[in-house]
């Protein structure tokens, strides 16, 4: 796939050391970028190496990890509740409609956590690990680096019902999108537009695209905002009554790169899902100037994305003695039997 990071883990470490004095905007006072420097110095290298290894065979994994982080934070804050499997106490968020047969990367998260437990037992939370992994995934794909505020703890329950209602739908109009973001505390237009830029890489299933190709809002016609050439291409990839699980690139131009091409696509009527194109095609929307700005200046987009990611990462964190530090991200510690398999993964009862 041609993946070749332009710098090594040692360079990453130098970046972190050099930038930790920077103050992360809107940072929660209990979260700080150097949280693990005394207790788990290799945390960044371990997460970095796990993602680099996976990218060799799965170029989607960077976007998938970032999406996991989004879907975690939008449901009761960034507490790794999305990683919990079903238990007798709660139903997993993985079964919620926005996540079922869609979110992925859990095996990579397991390997990452097992490596961290070997190096620093009972130290790094799954919530922080996923937050760091999303930042490294962006960086490895060509995006920005930022000092990630850390010190979150893990939820001891999942929130299936909330996951069904809190996560933005790919079929939302702009008013619905703004409401979904505001409901979790992301009430700036730049939060919505910048975080939507996470769709500059990765893929979506045809089932989330086909309604606007053939029967937009019940009109039996395609979404009029779609570029006609792009419409023809999408209909080829996602035929009517075809396989809804077929994957389509969010960005047909630079599908695996984290860049500003997403916004240029929106300006050209080439947003893959309705909720993306709404940012530019809703008449008079305050999001349109931001789409134009981020399309024309990638550095401005990167800074806006960093600001929004830090704000999202600070949503309702569990800190101090709240929650726990899970040993296995799939289960709460009270259900753990401390036995490791050959891969170092802690098994559950």
What token pair was written down for 243? 């396989």
Residue 198, SS3 per DSSP: helix
Whats the size of the chain, residue-wise?
349
> What crossing angle do the helices spanning 106-119 and 126-140 adopt, rounded to 10°?
110
Helix then strand count (H, E) for the chain reads 14, 4
Residues 6+ apart with CB under 8 A from 308: 186, 188, 190, 191, 194, 195
User: Alpha-carbon distance 177 to 195, whole Å?
Assistant: 12
**Angle at the Cα of 108 (from 181 to 58), degrees rounded to 5?**
90
**Residue in 290, 298, 296, 103 with CA at minimum distance from that of residue 192:** 290
Q: Residue 251 — φ and ψ, nearest 5°?
A: -115, 110
- pLDDT per residue of the chain (349 residues) written in tens, 0 to 9: 344 444 444 445 445 544 443 443 344 558 999 999 999 999 999 999 999 999 999 999 999 999 999 999 999 999 999 999 999 999 999 999 999 999 999 999 999 999 999 999 999 999 999 999 999 999 999 999 999 999 999 999 999 999 999 999 999 999 999 999 999 999 999 999 999 999 999 999 999 999 999 999 999 999 999 999 999 999 999 999 999 999 999 999 999 999 999 999 999 999 999 999 999 999 999 999 999 999 999 999 999 999 999 999 999 999 999 999 999 999 999 876 554 556 655 554 4
**Residue in 117, 111, 114, 86 with CA at minimum distance from that of residue 99:** 86
Residue 231, SS3 per DSSP: helix
DSSP 331: B
DSSP 84: P
What token pair was written down for 18? 């050099």
Q: Residue 276 — φ and ψ, nearest 5°?
A: -75, -50
The pLDDT score that the predictor gives to residue 234 is: 98
**Angle at the Cα of 194 (from 143 to 154), degrees rounded to 5?**
80
**Residue in 10, 347, 64 with CA at minimum distance from that of residue 198:** 64
Active site residue 69: no
Distance from chain centroid for Cα 344: 26
CA gyration radius, the chain: 20
The pLDDT score that the predictor gives to residue 229 is: 98
Place of tokens 């709460």: 332
The pLDDT score that the predictor gives to residue 334 is: 86
**Residue in 131, 87, 142 with CA at minimum distance from that of residue 109:** 131
Q: Tell me which of 71, 178, 203, 270 is the catalytic residue.
A: 71
User: Alpha-carbon distance 81 to 315, whole Å?
Assistant: 13
Tell me the pLDDT tens digit for each residue of 23-40. Answer: 433 445 589 999 999 999
User: Alpha-carbon distance 34 to 167, whole Å?
Assistant: 30
User: Alpha-carbon distance 192 to 226, whole Å?
Assistant: 21
């Amino acid at each position: 796939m041609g993946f070749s990071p332009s710098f090594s883990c040692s360079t990453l470490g130098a970046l972190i050391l050099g930038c930790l004095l920077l103050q992360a905007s809107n940072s929660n006072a209990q979260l700080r970028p150097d949280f693990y420097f005394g207790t788990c110095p290799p945390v960044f290298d371990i997460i970095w190496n796990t993602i680099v290894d996976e990218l060799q065979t799965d170029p989607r994994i960077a976007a998938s990890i970032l999406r996991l982080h989004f879907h975690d934070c939008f449901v009761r804050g960034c507490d790794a509740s999305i990683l919990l499997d079903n238990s007798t106490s709660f139903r997993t968020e993985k079964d919620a409609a926005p996540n079922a047969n869609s979110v992925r990367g859990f095996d990579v998260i397991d390997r990452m956590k097992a490596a961290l437990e070997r190096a620093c037992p009972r130290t790094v939370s799954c919530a922080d690990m996923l937050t760091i992994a999303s930042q490294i995934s962006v960086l490895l794909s060509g995006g920005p680096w930022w000092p990630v505020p850390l010190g979150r703890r893990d939820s001891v329950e999942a929130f299936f019902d909330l996951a069904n209602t809190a996560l933005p739908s790919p079929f939302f109009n702009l008013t619905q999108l703004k409401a979904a973001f505001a409901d979790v505390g992301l009430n700036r237009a730049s939060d919505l537009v910048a975080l939507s830029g996470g769709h500059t890489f990765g893929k979506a299933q045809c089932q989330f695209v086909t309604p606007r190709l053939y029967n937009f809002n019940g009109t039996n016609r395609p979404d009029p905002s779609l570029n006609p050439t792009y419409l023809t291409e999408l209909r080829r990839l996602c035929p009517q009554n075809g396989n809804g699980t077929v994957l389509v690139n969010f960005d047909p131009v630079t599908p695996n790169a984290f860049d500003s091409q997403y916004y240029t696509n929106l300006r050209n009527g080439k947003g893959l899902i309705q909720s993306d194109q709404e940012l530019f095609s809703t008449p008079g929307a305050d999001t349109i100037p931001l789409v134009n700005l981020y399309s024309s200046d990638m550095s401005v987009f990167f800074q806006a994305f960093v600001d929004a990611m830090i704000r999202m990462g600070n949503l309702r964190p569990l800190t101090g003695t709240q929650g726990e530090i899970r040993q296995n991200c799939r289960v709460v510690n009270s259900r753990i039997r401390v036995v490791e398999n050959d891969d170092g993964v802690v098994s559950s009862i």
